Structure 1
């Protein structure tokens, strides 16, 4: 259908609802599979170390492709690239749903990672099409929905698996992605302005290389040996590649990530907090369902079903949504720094409770409730701190970077916690309680660093020129 035949929305809310459908489809995939990883492991006949790549491949792919698709949207039209991103998400869902083995499923999950482009593209479309005074609120809703969608996935995975089997967890996002792609094609108008600058594919290759060089040894360290030459060599290579990528980005006239913008105090502090919150969020959603499903005979766990595990995590999703709604009022009254400091403190308390107080089932929903309040306040507030700290034309790009950094943090967290748990897993047996305790304690360290970093965020992060 030609772009001039698109149905123009009668109200900005119609456009917002359409793009939010795509955001929800992608967010759902970030956690829908996590609670059933043990079931998938048995179905595919693979090991615990291999099954974690179902998550890592998705997050790694999203980390690399999110800024690339955002830049392609600037050049070829955000509406067109958003449709392409949602289409790739749908194709990856089909591959994963039909995968006969772990290798094919990992490929499908990597293709699904292209759905990460919906976040910067949605932020850009909101910036282009919404009235300026409504942009911060719309961006806050988008950021909150991206987090809430992840929690919904944890809750829905059990009932869907019980009713339709594990492969149904890929068919649902497929339907949502198709519906979102069609709605975007019909409703979202062509981008009003497009960049004529190209993309530095060398920069893309370097970014992909240093992320892979970092995540691969973190996830495979227990198998290869943390002191092995391979692990140390890849980590060193990751550091060198990251430095090279940064230098190229600084000199580029059309960088994937504007390094100058990232040097603004409100921007880099908020992005560091976002990365550390990503470490906590994705790791909890990945490993806590497995923890509570473990039979008590192992010395921990409650032996609950997948559905019951989702219900134990339900307070996180519900309170995350409520906290996201009230965050704007709290920011206006107390300021963004106070809200982020409070959210970070709740984050530390929640993770500490998970690590050291998990003997009774009721301990889990209480900790998840605290975590939900923390995440809801933090994600909505961070998006508006970024919007206030950068130029209006950078709102979409800057918030896209923040979302992408959170995804990278998730990949790092899953790799580190997965490696810690695997280190304390006897051959052919279940992980020990010590492995989970240490893994969750690592998340507490990440939360503490986020708390300290949030203290550095300016009290009034208004827009300032790049240094």
Structure 2
């Protein structure tokens, strides 16, 4: 078998694995009312099916990304897929909300598939095809998330909400089988060990931050619990940074993240995460506001989901175009243009939203911006760090986007649902203010990347880290 054929098969296995996990991100959002009815729970309990995935993914993504760097990405990918498949089985058979949430926690481990995928692509793809491969897989991450929202409604009507997890189980099994058959066993790993203290502190501040972001609207943003959790997150974050800077074997090399090739991209990732979830996550809700408000369109859940199809198409086109586009446009410029397009599109939606076609067009253009930005971010990170740090570096970037999504959700909820009409429905002004806010954040993301210059190097070598624990060795994992 030729090297090209081997790389194509490995790419296919990685893409299927990523797609099987990406679908799970937002799969439960459209079916939360069905879960409430079937399991006889209140809406705040049912929304924990989403919160549980978010928190579990946030913790698992950097930790398992680092374990993949240390122990081999192929082996770690298979282990993660096995845990996710178990989670799908548990969720499909869940007799109550507690067991369903446990299943979603297990599924959340799948967040680690994304950094593992990017690291494996660097191992198996020829250099000339690496950027295009990263771009297309990045697009799949976003496409899968949006597709979960679009497909969940029609699929659940046909096979029930439990059937959604059965479909995901089959997709995960296919990804695992292709990984075994088509991804080579040899690869790269980094010498060293997992820093247990840093892992505990990292997990602690992520949970302490994301929990109030997800539940603050229910608890009250000024409640002692919410403020206490935010304070705890700040303390644990400071302790984690100090621990990492003092450690001879850091979990995350803070100095690497502070490099000017890396930190602007991560800062942009956080802000873009806010904008992405703030627009596409709330666009269906905007479309479903009853028409008798005098300004809304009053679409059904199924029709509103279909309006997101142009967004999926836009993300697909942009993600798969990243490789060829780099011949004429540098990756950092692609990131800047993608973020600017996102901001401009959201402003367009604020100005023009009286017809479905206007919002469908806005969604398509927004998808192009998201796909371009996601693909460029992943490629910049992969090409800027040593091979032995790709898993943890891309994991941190993915986590920052997830934290941004949580912030975007909290921000939109606070602004849109902070002031309601007498019938308890959101006001048009609330959406306008919220979307202008996230458009500004997208522009700020573009400005950060545009203003901070890349480091000048006489070659294309990635950011160099100290020798010792970071030395890259051959592995047969």
For the criterion TM > 0.5, the same-fold answer is yes
Q: 1:222 to 1:402 in 2, by over 3 A?
A: closer
Q: 1:215 to 1:37 in 2, by over 3 A?
A: same
| Counterpart for residue 253 of structure 1 | 248
| Counterpart for residue 325 of structure 2 | 330
| Counterpart for residue 475 of structure 2 | none
Within the alignment, does 1:239 sit opposite 2:234 as a pair? yes
Question: Residue 359 of structure 2 aligns to a residue in which SS?
Answer: helix
Taking the TM superposition and a 5 Å limit, the aligned residue runs for 1:425-440 are: 429-440=424-435
| Counterpart for residue 266 of structure 2 | 271
Aligned equivalents of 2:422, 2:243: Cα separation in 1 = 45
Contact 1:120 1:396 in 2 (8 A): yes
| Counterpart for residue 148 of structure 2 | 153
Q: 1:457 to 1:38 in 2, by over 3 A?
A: farther
Within the alignment, does 1:20 sit opposite 2:12 as a pair? no
- Specify which of 361, 369, 376 is matched with residue 366 of structure 1: 361
Once the two structures are TM-superposed, the CA of residue 441 in structure 1 deviates from its matched residue by: 3.8
Once the two structures are TM-superposed, the CA of residue 81 in structure 1 deviates from its matched residue by: 1.5
Q: 1:50 to 1:288 in 2, by over 3 A?
A: farther
**Worse overlay, 382-391 or 170-179:** 382-391
| Counterpart for residue 56 of structure 2 | 61
| Counterpart for residue 472 of structure 2 | none
Q: 1:226 to 1:299 in 2, by over 3 A?
A: farther
Within the alignment, does 1:173 sit opposite 2:191 as a pair? no
Q: 1:132 to 1:9 in 2, by over 3 A?
A: closer
Aligned equivalents of 2:186, 2:242: Cα separation in 1 = 31
Within the alignment, does 1:423 sit opposite 2:423 as a pair? no
Within the alignment, does 1:293 sit opposite 2:288 as a pair? yes
CA deviations on 1:220-257 (whole Å, 9 max, x unpaired) are 33333323333222212211111111111222233332
Q: 1:373 to 1:117 in 2, by over 3 A?
A: same
Aligned equivalents of 2:197, 2:289: Cα separation in 1 = 45
Aligned equivalents of 1:97, 1:431: Cα separation in 2 = 34
Question: Residue 29 of structure 1 aligns to a residue in which SS?
Answer: coil
Aligned equivalents of 2:421, 2:390: Cα separation in 1 = 49
Aligned equivalents of 2:104, 2:372: Cα separation in 1 = 30
Aligned equivalents of 1:168, 1:443: Cα separation in 2 = 35
Contact 2:154 2:302 in 1 (8 A): yes
Contact 1:424 1:434 in 2 (8 A): no
Q: 1:364 to 1:78 in 2, by over 3 A?
A: same
TM (norm. structure 2) is 0.87
**Worse overlay, 290-299 or 27-36:** 290-299
Could you list the runs of 5+ residues in structure 2 that have no partner in the other structure? 467-477
Contact 1:283 1:413 in 2 (8 A): yes
Within the alignment, does 1:384 sit opposite 2:379 as a pair? yes
Could you list the runs of 5+ residues in structure 1 that have no partner in the other structure? 1-7
- Specify which of 273, 278, 282 is matched with residue 277 of structure 2: 282
| Counterpart for residue 349 of structure 1 | 344
CA deviations on 1:337-395 (whole Å, 9 max, x unpaired) are 33222211111122233445433222220210121110111112222222333334444
Aligned equivalents of 2:393, 2:185: Cα separation in 1 = 21
Q: 1:133 to 1:450 in 2, by over 3 A?
A: same
Two-structure CA RMSD over aligned residues (Å): 2.8
**Worse overlay, 33-42 or 404-413:** 33-42
Once the two structures are TM-superposed, the CA of residue 276 in structure 1 deviates from its matched residue by: 1.7
Contact 1:68 1:204 in 2 (8 A): yes
- Specify which of 117, 123, 128 is matched with residue 128 of structure 1: 123
Moved over 6 A (4+): none
